[in-house]
Structure 1
């Protein structure tokens, strides 16, 4: 099979590899579509993991083979693949901190080498733990592989929305109108709240309005805080979702979030970034700072429901499609997006 192997920082090698062999409790999936995620790009561009590895985790495909002990799944079934499933028994899991679970972190789908997602390959192997505990999700007949590849990123965004306790009637500031920010706007609207978006690219500001934002502004607008306060009866937004790793966006969030509001970090910042803050700002205004990383097992069924019943329009997020052979080109486009670049999908 063909695969894109990470051989070092910014080094992807399109190689011929053996199709993974199965243990009795494992399943082999032929990858039809895999989304290109910002976390994949980060792993390719920075020295975070020892090579060789095969990344890619927003995977949808067809079951190509099953181990001898697998009973529930059959060859030919269309499935979305979750690349992590928690143990459900450790102290983290018992507190709903599933993404902190060692099993969640260390057992993953693989196309070879150290298990790292494996979606950037023609075939990916699903370990028994993931097969047995809900990591394969049947795709309804009316849903495309493209749509199904959004189940995992929808879960990640949904986790942040739930963690921030966004409820009907609230106003939410979404900083950044890339694919993640646009999905946040859709989810915020779906749950009955109002979204205000910011971005630096005019077409993305327009796109934010098209997918449901109540208002959208250039993040460089010197009157941004005044305009947002004008839209919120002088109070500020209830919640800010930081979908870009920008210290400037954070300080805008402090200015635009009401007393008693929440600011949630969703985008991962470079490790060298430090943000100085006077703690009395948080104390006196009772601002809650929180982070949301990865997906939540508890929200898996809801994420699938939202995608499979088209409660949000994930097709509106797709801008580019690349063959697996052209993954490096896709990564370069994601790093330096055009005015019309949103979600990029890869086709093994």
Structure 2
């Protein structure tokens, strides 16, 4: 089968690799579409992992084969693959910190080499632990593979808005109107709150309004904080979601968030970046600083229901489609996005 193999920093090789062989409790999935995630791009561009590996994890496809011991799944069923499943019995899991569980972090879905997701290939193997514990979810009739591939990123974003305790009637600042920021806007609206978005690109500011933002501003506007207060009866927003790894965005959020509000870090910042802050600002204004990493096992079914029930418009997030053979070009576009670049999807079978 064909796969995009990570051979070193910024080195992807489109090559023939062996078809994964499954054990009796495993499932083989033919990949129909896989989303290109910022975490994939980071793994490709930086020396974080030893090659060779096959990345890709926002995967939707068709079951090609099921082992003899697999129950409830058979060849021909359409399914999404969730590459993270926690152990459910460690101290992290018992405290619902599923994404900190070692089993969760140890990715086991694979298309070959060291297991690393495996979605950037024609086929991916799903191990028994994932199969038995909810890591396969059937795609219902009427839902495309494209739409289904959004369940995992929806879970990640839903976890963040849940951690920020966003309530109906609240106002939320979303910094950055890329695909994640746009999904935040949709989920904020889904929860009955309203979103204010910021971005540097006029096209993304307009897109934020098109997907439901109550207001959207240029992040360089020197009067941003004042404009946000004017739209919130002088209070400021109840919560800010940082969808871009920018210290400037953090300080803008600090200026725009009301006393007693929350600021949530969602985008991963460069390791060398440090943000100096006077702790009395947090103390006196009672601002909660929160981090949200990856997805939540508890939110799997809700996230699937949101996507499969078309409660948010994930189709509006897709801007570009590439065949698997052109993954390099897709990554290049993602790191140097045009004014209308949002979510990029990859297709093993695309001509």
4+ residue runs over 2 A deviation? none
Q: Hey, what does 1:21 align to over in structure 2?
A: 21
Q: Hey, what does 1:136 align to over in structure 2?
A: 136
Q: Hey, what does 1:114 align to over in structure 2?
A: 114
Q: Hey, what does 2:7 align to over in structure 1?
A: 7
Q: Hey, what does 1:293 align to over in structure 2?
A: 293
Shift of 1:68: 1.3
CA separation in 2, counterparts of 1:108 and 1:98? 16
Q: Hey, what does 2:255 align to over in structure 1?
A: 255
Q: Hey, what does 2:162 align to over in structure 1?
A: 162
CA separation in 2, counterparts of 1:97 and 1:295? 10
What secondary structure, in the 3-state scheme, does the structure 2 residue paired with 1:322 have? strand
Shift of 1:168: 0.2
Residues 152-231 of structure 1: pairs in structure 2 closer than 5 A = 152-231=152-231
Shift of 1:107: 3.7
The runs of 5 or more residues in structure 1 that have no matched partner are none
What secondary structure, in the 3-state scheme, does the structure 2 residue paired with 1:154 have? helix
Is the contact between residue 83 and residue 135 of structure 2 (CA under 8 Å) also seen in structure 1?
Answer: yes
Q: Hey, what does 1:266 align to over in structure 2?
A: 266
* 1:72-99 CA distance string (max 9 Å, x none): 1000000011001000000000111001
* 1:8-53 CA distance string (max 9 Å, x none): 1000000100100001100000000000000000000000111110
* 1:274-316 CA distance string (max 9 Å, x none): 0000000000000000100000000000000000000000000
* 1:196-221 CA distance string (max 9 Å, x none): 00000100000000000000000000
CA separation in 1, counterparts of 2:74 and 2:215? 47
The runs of 5 or more residues in structure 2 that have no matched partner are none
Over aligned residue pairs, what C-alpha RMSD do you find?
Answer: 0.4
* 1:136-185 CA distance string (max 9 Å, x none): 00000100000000000000000000000001000000000000000000
Aligned residue-pair number: 348
* 1:87-124 CA distance string (max 9 Å, x none): 00000001110010010011421000111100000000
Q: Hey, what does 2:279 align to over in structure 1?
A: 279
CA separation in 2, counterparts of 1:168 and 1:108? 38
Query: If the length of structure 2 is used for normalisation, what is the TM-score?
Result: 0.99
Query: If the length of structure 1 is used for normalisation, what is the TM-score?
Result: 1.00
